[in-house]
Chains A and B, each alone.
Chain A
Amino acid sequence: MQGDVSDLSRYDHHAARIAAWRNRSRRVRYVCYFLITALIVWSVEEIVVADTDWSRISWESMLRSAQQFMSVDLSIFRSLMGPALETALMATLGTLVGLVLAVPVAWLGAMNISPLGRTTYVIGRGLMTLSRSVHEVVWGLIFVAAVGLGALAGVLAMGIRSIGFISKTVAEAIEDVSPGPVEAMRAVGASRFQILLFGILPQVIPVFIGNVIFEWDVNIRRSTIMGLVGAGGLGLALHRQMASYNYGGVATVLLVILLLIIAGEILSYYARKAVI
């Protein structure tokens, strides 16, 4: 042991400084709490209280709507099998388009292998952001305008929308590969392409496949609403039932969507387990 324990008083000015600092940070915290509360109150007032037609809302009206939706119209169930299949296929094709296009984008967007360094890196990252920042429904609208109504527009929309996530995760995996195998491949005299193929690809394949399966799962969800913008599948059926005020039918479509998503989830769970 060093020093004189009885002489702790010489640390008093440190203690005073800590107390002052605590007081200050407490004050800052209270101001923050106040500002956050004010913001919440203001938003509720502005967008809920002032913007809602309160005269329309009553227990009866809510019960009535609930009842309308509860009376599932099973008569259209069989006619939904076609659109359901179309939805699943659309998601699958969309994912395939996405995975093929994601490979070059990931190559551009991985700093360590980007062909022309910073320039192509920025292009790659830009493409990723573009793909992700535009909503799938907006992509759907764009492709419906480009190739007309139908499932093709949905496939393209989801394909483009899928690039972002797959290429971003793969590019990051490429940036994180362990350098050892890459060094070994350089040392045997491999070309740049062979280094990619043997030094890098085997290390990122699990990430790539895992995320493609995940994206497929997400695309099944996305493709169920693609029909709302005229891009085929269950969304179209949903739109039709809504337009004819058949709430029972809407409920049936929602049920089929739910079943499809559950099926997709189960399938992707086993697929991922099999691969990784």
Chain B
Amino acid sequence: MRMAAPMPREPVIALVNVTKRFPGVVALDGVGLELRPGEVHVLLGENGAGKSTLVGILSGRHRPDGGAVVIDGAARRLDPPRAALSSGIGTVFQHALLAPTLTVEENLLLDTPWWQRPKRAELRGQAHRLASELDVLVPLDARVSKLSPAERQQAEILRALLRDSRVLLLDEATSMLAPAGVDRLGALMGRLAERGVGIVLVTHKLREALAFGDRISVLRRGRKVGEIPPERLKGTAEDAPAAEIVAMMFGSAPPNLARQGSRAEALAARGRPVLKVSGLSLPPDRAAPGLSTIDLDVGAGEIVGIAGIEGQGQREFAELLSGQRRDGSGSIRLDGREIAGLTLAERRALGLRHLSDDRLGEGIAANLSVAHNLFLKRIGQRPFWRLGWERRRAIGKNAVALARAYDIRATSVDAPAGNLSGGNVQKILLARELDEGARLAICSKPTHGLDLATAAATRARIRGLAQRGAGVLLISSDLDELIDLASRIVVLRGGAVAGVVAGGSSAREKVGRLMAGAAA
């Protein structure tokens, strides 16, 4: 039973004004989305844009705090996951959810209710028919642990289809695949769409979105910032939607005119280099592209932006500079002094600071107090510790002063830092990294996931630090932020410098193209 492709299609599932909050963060803010049968709908967005939360809602793992999920014209609940499955939504997660010690067939039979005898013959018949119709080869008798990532994914897709899914949700489906596998998946999605299955492909890769998508929705900071319908996607020239999407993904707000002055000042104030990196390299590994001979300098009072989409070596670069990892090669000079051989603590003592983007993961120790977190990188140092013993009054007094200065809102500095909202956690980190003696601050995604007020305050802190004569390396994928703050923007791609663009509103397009991988 095939559906004719050009038929006008009613949405199978529609999200209406869906909102989801987590403590301190609004993950989704009034998002509307319509999934139509026979269409590959790409959800595009940076990490943290809200894609995973949306997948969580569609697969029944999260319940929306506001808005509705409409299926066949009626509002329905998709949680728990069982409800999503019975509503016909099959999800293939980023990391395969098959039992590795069982064969593919046994995995598929796991859906059998516990009181029934597994119907092996029937399953085999169905599986073979589906597999041959879709032209995929899934070895039913092979153990899952022996399969390649692409084969596992196909097995999962097969499982979703055997459950009669009307909608197939593919979460970062291409991230584990080799380029050839990506193309095969694209072809498979096309054949599935012909059968009338609605497909949601979640990705942060622009190229795949353009290659496979019939319709593209772009998420940014928890909001849907745009949707490109099939007629615009197919009708126009190759480049036009790409540029539009880059603008949507990384910020399309008009440049903030009020800030132009400060950037000009920053440009003028660029003094002798605080940081001089030459030939910094790191061999690639399975997860990251490594770094290839990066040269960079940051002048006193200068804010240099490091742009790039996720995973182009930004994290490794920041960690090599801060001393959190020391397996790279090359020279790092801080105020003229070679620091590549120094430990993290020694570098910090010289004024090198690192504001991590993984605030809860590595920034704070959530169970310890706000005060201890404020001095987490100074454990054992005077005046807070003497002869190894903690001086509670000194810690308490200074913590209260820092909390006031940085507007950290906590019931007490003795409260666990984990009780604070995301914005206040960031203020703890700002106080810890930017206060006193900072010569060069590496700021990784400093406003990522923050509300507007805290984001503005954070940018003001960073700007203030530069005005006091320190250098700042601003690592971000947010074009608005980079253009607002940085006087120069270095674009990283695949662990190498793809280009350097002078700051200013004209940089937006150039940086966007360099990030997306198009010719500059």
The finding on whether chains A and B are genuine partners in a shared complex, rather than unrelated, reads: no
